[in-house]
Chains A and B, each alone.
Chain A
């Protein structure tokens, strides 16, 4: 399959008073047409900054994309002039943000906000754009679209607003849809509706989706491939089935074990000890070693690279062929 977008060694750093924060550190992945890539990680892991970097929406200063490539149809989005980038945003790549309450403009009707994007990108007149807006609203399942289109965001419920956001994002039939925590602020029944909707629309339009979330359940439902991020780096990249069946990285294992499951009975919930290190004071070696249950001396010294293990990419010395022997010896010694 053709690769729609390819991110290579992306690095986004923030220059703060306390030092340089490597929010995205050497992140690479690619997505094929019609596929969904899930990005999971806890707050501060760099998952949102990754998507903002693709769109070149990172606030600068303090943020700066310091390296890497974002190839969209073979064209490096990081190198094209800003006015061309503006054509790409909203038209080829669209984004849905987490907060449906704050990402809509409160002083314009939802119809005007959808029509605005259509008019800018599709070069059509106002009347056509409004027709398109009505059509989009009914596509995302809003009842009475002709009436709703004249309403302001505050008149709509949270689920409705998120539907409006999706309608707006899809109005120019983007090839790539980036969803940044699209259901976090919503209730489970509404979340189920929105996830179904995104899946349905993906199938109909053949768009690729990047789904960013901290909820592993959501990932399991929608993603084909999954990236697990920790401290700005990808620690594991695998297809969704093998990731959930047999997580390799200790962090992924910890994450999966720390969510209460419905089929689980009263055994103690296992948790990952400690917390995410401060981004300005990253530990030496593997960033996860202070919280890792199987960290050894070698992990405190060597920062692992990502390398292929059993058909996926993992960033853990435990699986590295070069260190495997050393790791086993140390483990036996302890």
Chain B
């Protein structure tokens, strides 16, 4: 295991998830939605990778494929020295204790017929973590303390709580098995701003205490900048740029990232700036454009962009960008 010391916690290579939408008959090719179309990235222990992109860019599918909640079509996921994609279902279940997920919708992701205590305790039961009931209870109480839930709440049901508190329950459940990595799929998007700040602070606190790594998926670029160490920008199933957050937000190299950054509304009416306007909508992931998938909306697109697909290449310190026009 000496090798694993330097290796990142999570290493994803060539991950693809294609959904079959139409079977091709009489020799016609099958048609797929290429939701995730070859992504590579790494996440170190205790690190936060932010993933941003517009709806339909494949960021949630990517998060779920990494966990094998959705079976990936191709690619490898090495987690903690083990190839996740090669595990049998039994082994996978055991290994998943180290990789948990927090979902976007705090109203749909908690079972309405279970008490809060049972929701938080369920992962422990599945993994047979505790021999005695007392031990289990104590663990649940500890978790409640950590996420700031009152002990009286344990006997109550999820519908009695507000969005912010439900998200705390979801976080407690994800932490129940002391995972090394948590995939957070838009954990604060459904919350009001004042509550959002509470939950973000809680997640930061937990990271400092427990050293857990996050994959933080969100469409809110300000939140992602706040919480992440490095940020990946996705467009139509591909990572178009990945960099340490300050580099990405200061010197974005990809035209899509630049447009995305310039579109963020800033809470300052005196803030003057030029907005890069993207024309049109996202192309359908069933009919990906040839060459660079962004060329149909890119203000700088050239002949070459329509034909040749750009690779992710190094353009600065730990800064990768997939664009023909940026020079390393």
Q: Which A positions have Cβ atoms within 8 angstroms of B?
A: 42-43, 143, 157-160, 187-193, 195-196, 214-221, 223, 240-241, 244-245, 254-256, 258-262, 264, 268-273, 275-276
Given contacts A188-B221, A220-B265, A220-B269, contact A160 B200 (CB under 8 A): no
- Are A42 and B269 neighbours in the complex by a CB distance under 8 Å? no
- Are B225 and A260 neighbours in the complex by a CB distance under 8 Å? yes
B 250-265 binary contact with A (CB < 8 Å = 1; else 0): 0000000001101111
The number of A-B residue pairs with CB atoms under 8 Å apart is 121
Q: How distant is the Cα of A117 from the Cα of B89 in the complex, in angstroms?
A: 57
Q: How large is the interface on B (under 10, 10 to 19, 20 to 34, 35 or more residues)?
A: 35 or more
Q: What B residues does A43 contact at CB under 8 A? A: 192
Q: How distant is the Cα of A275 from the Cα of B260 in the complex, in angstroms?
A: 32
Contact partner, A262, options B201, B264, B281, Cβ 8 Å? B264
Additional pairs, 10, CB under 8 Å, beyond known A219-B267, A275-B194: A187-B219, A190-B281, A217-B264, A218-B265, A244-B269, A258-B196, A259-B197, A261-B222, A262-B222, A271-B194
A–B complex contacts, Cβ < 8 Å, 12 sampled = A42-B193, A42-B194, A143-B280, A191-B263, A191-B265, A217-B222, A217-B266, A220-B269, A240-B269, A244-B269, A256-B267, A258-B194
Q: What B residues does A42 contact at CB under 8 A? A: 192-195
Q: What A residues does B266 contact at CB under 8 A? A: 217, 220-221, 261-262
Given contacts A190-B281, A220-B267, contact A269 B226 (CB under 8 A): yes
Q: What A residues does B109 contact at CB under 8 A? A: none
Contact partner, B260, options A157, A189, A215, A240, Cβ 8 Å? A189
Q: How distant is the Cα of A215 from the Cα of B265 in the complex, in angstroms?
A: 9
Q: How distant is the Cα of A254 from the Cα of B198 in the complex, in angstroms?
A: 12
Q: Is B127 in contact with chain A by the CB < 8 A criterion?
A: no
Partner-contacting stretch, out of B236-244, B271-279, B285-293: B271-279
Q: What A residues does B162 contact at CB under 8 A? A: 275
- Are A268 and B265 neighbours in the complex by a CB distance under 8 Å? no
Give me the 5 closest cross-chain CB pairs, A-B, nearest first.
A217-B265, A271-B197, A260-B226, A258-B197, A187-B54
Tell me how far the C-beta of B147 lies from the nearest C-beta in chain A, rounded to whole angstroms: 14
